[in-house]
Structure 1
Amino acid sequence: MQRASAHPPRPSQQVKWHLERKGRYHVQCLPPYRRFRGNEMPWDHAGELDETTELVVKSTRSRKVVKLAAGQYGTPLELFVKRYNFKTWYGPYLRMARQSRAREEFELGWALMDAGIRTPRPVWLAEELRTPSRFSILATEAIPLAENVLQRWMRLSEESDRVDLVRAVGQFLYLLHQRGFYHDDCKAAHFLIRQESPSTPKEFFVIDLLGCGLHGRLTQLQRAKNLFQVMRHFYPPKGSTGFGPEHRELLLTAYGGSRQDAEKWSRWVDRIGRLKGKKY
């Protein structure tokens, strides 16, 4: 008789993948998304891409990100779709020994969910069949009625609500670090929360995972860098968001767990600031 596991199966162990070839791409997806045609989107035609998607979120030389409504290109739910490409002809050759960027983000997303960290679920991945490959595409499910931390901060009018939000951000970042997660671009815009949800750590989602990783144990420098990045986003080049020294102290105290630890992390954050010529 087989003994039942003391721990529930991880999210990545509960899914069955649909695999197929679509044109010049190899596709791995969850079965409900097998009819999604992300590889057929007019990625190289800006006008057509804008007309056939709900929103073009970002368009740079190295990646394009769009939002799709349910039904567009065969998706059953709202998606964010991202296509990675290389800016130079030699880029694909330099990356031949590594996974595609889309696969790195795809696998990290599932690893985070296995670690109990909330992130939009990666549901569809397409990688070029040729070697070296130039393009890779990733689709993640959109979080309905979500806003990022800075948007919530600007929306809140009561100081008590802002205090709850800042405290939750510090606690959430501590949780990420305790589980070994380091975010390469850790800013308030990359922490999402549903509009109707309270400002508590368990309600946050982390997004934009390229360059991030689960490292087991983080250095103090890595932790301080993420703290600096989060606070930097509350200080725009022009104007003010109302984020002051008292909010900085609150965030660091929530992260460190005590006033004494907050002072230690404040010194570390100041050290990062001096290296970058900024002080927050």
Structure 2
Amino acid sequence: MEFRLNPNSNLSQSDVISMLEQFSATGKMFIDGKRNKIKLFELNGRTLNVKSFKVPHLVNRIIYRYFRKSKARRSFEFANKLLENGIGTPEPIAYLEHTDWIGLKDSYYVSEHLAADLTYRELVEIPNYPDGDNILRQFTRFSYLLHQKGIEFKDHSPGNTLIKKNGQGTYDFFLVDLNRMEFHREMPFELRMKNLCRLTPHKEMVAVMSNEYAKVSGESEEKIFTTLWKMTADFQYRYYRKKRIKKKLKFWK
């Protein structure tokens, strides 16, 4: 077993391990996904968010044991690195891995549970979301800050940014689902635009983001919009083509 606890969490190692060992039998289901599950646990007056990663297939079991850090460990370490850079994410508490002689078995990432007011997804799915233009512009500035710090959040998609209202028209942004990140000295323009292209299929939202990104970056708004909309359209085409192919391959279901 590999276990690491955030020393600033004020929680005991034995209590957290005991909670994780009882993951399947206790806790309140928050997300019951096909690959991963998230449950909420109450511990010492705190609500903890525990993500259980699916046991990987044989090859990845070996890779995650001997050649690459597990998703749980990467989530924990990347969360700490984000906080060091002044980027919002729920407080990392711990990670745990179970292994055998073959490789990784089950693994868990524990963080403070953050009750968000919305995610970016609401801006995409709900027309005329209240204060939506302002939120979108502040989100774009948040994304620009990530890029300026060289943080490439590879899962920068609609459900992975939690948003909390601060009052008086200001918002805080928190990244979740952290296991795929890269940290660069600097991010070139094309990589920045690629990082934003999975967020929305709506051209009018891309236009607003392009306008705000141009304001903070000094880049040409026309250049940003042309590049970002092309990358967005290409991503949407690939995404739906992949779905069509999967549907044809699984026609019997």
TM > 0.5 between the two?
yes
Distance 1:127 1:175 in 2: 33
Q: How does 1:1-280 map onto structure 2 within 5 Å?
A: 24-30=1-7, 32-34=10-12, 35-36=15-16, 37-43=18-24, 48=25, 52-61=26-35, 63-68=36-41, 70=42, 74=43, 76-95=45-64, 96-128=66-98, 130-131=100-101, 132-151=103-122, 154=126, 158=130, 161-197=131-167, 199-200=169-170, 203-232=172-201, 235=202, 245=204, 247-257=205-215, 261-276=220-235, 278=237
Contact preservation (8 Å) 1:64, 1:83: yes
Out of 208-217 and 28-37, give the one that drifted further. Answer: 28-37
Distance 1:99 1:206 in 2: 20
Contact preservation (8 Å) 1:33, 1:124: no
Identity %: 20
TM (norm. structure 1) is: 0.71
Give the length in aligned residue pairs.
Answer: 230
For the structure 1 residues 277 and 170, does the alpha-carbon distance in structure 2 shift closer, same or farther, using more than 3 Å as the test? Answer: closer
* AA in 2 matched with 1:254: E
- Gaps (5+ residues) in structure 2? 239-253
Per-residue deviation, residues 35-63 of structure 1 (Å, max 9, x unmatched): 123322243xxxx5xxx3223313324x3
Distance 1:119 1:226 in 2: 18
SS of residue matched to 2:193 = helix
Structure 1 residue 123: Cα displacement: 0.6
For the structure 1 residues 191 and 229, does the alpha-carbon distance in structure 2 shift closer, same or farther, using more than 3 Å as the test? Answer: same
Distance 1:187 1:271 in 2: 17
SS of residue matched to 1:231 = coil
Contact preservation (8 Å) 1:123, 1:139: yes
For the structure 1 residues 26 and 116, does the alpha-carbon distance in structure 2 shift closer, same or farther, using more than 3 Å as the test? Answer: closer
For the structure 1 residues 134 and 157, does the alpha-carbon distance in structure 2 shift closer, same or farther, using more than 3 Å as the test? Answer: closer
- Gaps (5+ residues) in structure 1? 1-23, 236-243
Contact preservation (8 Å) 2:48, 2:113: yes
Greater strand fraction, Structure 1 or Structure 2 = 2
1:17 corresponds in structure 2 to none
Distance 1:204 1:155 in 2: 21
SS of residue matched to 2:212 = helix
Per-residue deviation, residues 90-112 of structure 1 (Å, max 9, x unmatched): 22112312222211110110011
Contact preservation (8 Å) 2:99, 2:106: no
For the structure 1 residues 197 and 215, does the alpha-carbon distance in structure 2 shift closer, same or farther, using more than 3 Å as the test? Answer: farther
Per-residue deviation, residues 14-36 of structure 1 (Å, max 9, x unmatched): xxxxxxxxxx4534344522212
Structure 1 residue 274: Cα displacement: 4.8
